Amino acid sequence: MYRAGDERAHDDRLTELAGIAADLELTAEAESTAKDLFLSTVDGAAPRSEPAVLAASVYAGALIAGDQRSQTAVADAAGVSRLVIQERWKQLLARAGFDPPTW
């Protein structure tokens, strides 16, 4: 869970998230889920880790919303490596209270 003030504190990253979602043509539900995941898990992350958390949030949010995109597509849109997403998305889901898939 996150506080309303967290949105203001991470306004730049949320603007970036909206741009990535637009580039990937994600549904509003996928974008909203990605935003919730990001804000729920970014606390405690080092500022230099925020782009990785953001990219993993977009990937996982799209997956949850049924608007899945490949890790490569999300990585390219977010300007990170695919490996960053691959290493973080399952732990991000777990931190947010979801059961990550076992496949």
- In the chain, the number of structural domains is 1
In a domain, residue 102? The reply is no
Cβ atoms 50, 13 nearer than 8 A: yes
Domain containing residue 11: 4-95
- pLDDT given at position 47: 79
In a domain, residue 80? The reply is yes
In a domain, residue 100? The reply is no
The model's pTM: 0.91
In a domain, residue 31? The reply is yes
Distance CA 93, CA 83 (A): 16
Structure-token pair, residue 38:
């990001």
Residues 59-79 have pLDDT tens digits of 999 999 999 999 999 999 999
In a domain, residue 103? The reply is no
Residues 20-55 have pLDDT tens digits of 999 999 999 999 999 999 998 887 777 789 999 999
Please report, for the domain that includes residue 81, its CATH number.
1.10.472.10
In a domain, residue 27? The reply is yes
Tell me the chain's radius of gyration from C-alpha atoms: 12
